[in-house]
C-alpha cells in the first residue's frame, strides 16, 4: 500500500497551513489555519473492509517542566513519548483520498464535535484533550485532526507520522475511550497492510526549518 500527499512530501517540513500554531516573533507562536492535509492512497489489499488513519508525534517531551518557559529549553536528551494528533476509523474500503481541509479547517477552542464524521466514519479524541484539560478557555474533547504545535523552546525538530491502515473489518470495535492507543490496540489482528508518510515541524527559530 502507498500513501502520498500533495500537501507535503516524505521527510519535508509540514507547511504552517496545516499546523495548530505557527511562529510569531512577538509572542513566540500564534494560531495557525489548522487545515488537515490532503492524503491519497493506492495498492490496497483486495480483502480490505475499512481504513483507519492515525497521526502521531513521537517526539513529545516526557516531562513538561521546561516546555515553553522563557530562558529555558527542552533538552534533546529528554526521553520522548507519543502525542496523537488525529484518530480516524471506519473509513469505507472504496475511499482513496481525504481532501485538504475536509475534516478540519481551523482551530476550534474546546474542540470539534465527534465522534461522527464524514463517510460514516468515526473520529477519536486527540491529545490536545489532555493538554488543555487545565485551561478554562480551551479545555474540552478535541475530536478529529489538530495539527502540530511543538514547544517553541524544544531543541529537536518534531516528526509527524500519518499512518493509514487497511483493515479486515468494516467497523472496528474499541472497548475503551476512542483515542490513539486504544484504537492502536483494537487494530491488532485486523491489519492487512499499512503505509506511512512523515513530515517534520518546529517552532524553535534557532532550528533549521
pLDDT tens for 148-176 read 999 999 999 999 999 999 999 999 999 88
Percent of the chain with pLDDT over 70: 99
Structural domains of the chain in order of their starting residue, each with its CATH number: 2-201 (3.90.280.10)
Model confidence, pTM: 0.96
Q: What is the DSSP string of 82-136?
A: EEEEEEEEEEETT--EE-TTSS--S--TT----SB-GGG-EE-B-THHHHTTT-T
Distance CA 207, CA 43 (A): 37
DSSP, collapsed to helix, strand or coil, labels residue 80 as strand
d(CA 133, CA 141) in angstroms, rounded, equals 9
Amino acid at each position: 500500500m502507498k500513501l502520498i500527499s500533495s500537501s507535503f512530501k516524505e521527510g519535508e517540513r509540514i507547511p504552517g497551513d496545516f499546523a495548530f500554531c505557527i511562529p510569531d516573533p512577538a509572542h513566540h507562536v500564534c494560531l495557525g489555519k489548522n487545515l488537515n492535509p490532503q492524503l491519497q492512497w493506492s495498492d490496497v489489499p483486495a480483502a480490505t473492509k475499512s481504513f483507519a488513519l492515525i497521526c502521531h508525534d513521537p517526539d513529545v517531551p516526557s516531562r513538561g517542566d521546561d516546555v515553553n518557559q522563557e530562558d529555558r529549553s527542552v533538552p534533546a536528551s529528554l526521553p520522548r513519548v507519543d502525542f496523537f494528533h488525529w484518530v480516524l476509523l471506519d473509513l469505507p474500503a472504496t475511499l482513496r483520498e481525504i481532501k485538504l481541509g475536509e475534516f478540519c479547517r481551523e482551530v476550534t477552542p474546546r474542540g470539534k464535535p465527534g465522534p461522527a464524521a464524514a463517510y460514516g466514519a468515526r473520529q477519536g479524541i486527540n491529545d490536545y484533550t489532555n493538554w488543555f484539560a487545565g485551561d478554562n478557555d480551551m479545555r474540552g474533547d478535541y475530536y478529529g485532526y489538530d495539527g502540530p504545535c511543538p514547544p517553541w523552546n524544544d531543541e529537536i525538530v518534531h516528526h509527524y507520522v500519518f499512518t493509514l491502515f487497511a483493515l479486515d473489518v468494516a467497523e472496528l470495535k474499541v472497548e475503551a475511550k476512542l483515542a490513539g492507543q486504544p484504537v492502536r490496540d483494537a487494530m491488532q489482528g485486523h491489519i492487512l497492510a499499512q503505509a506511512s508518510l512523515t513530515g517534520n515541524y518546529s517552532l524553535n527559530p534557532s532550528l533549521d526549518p
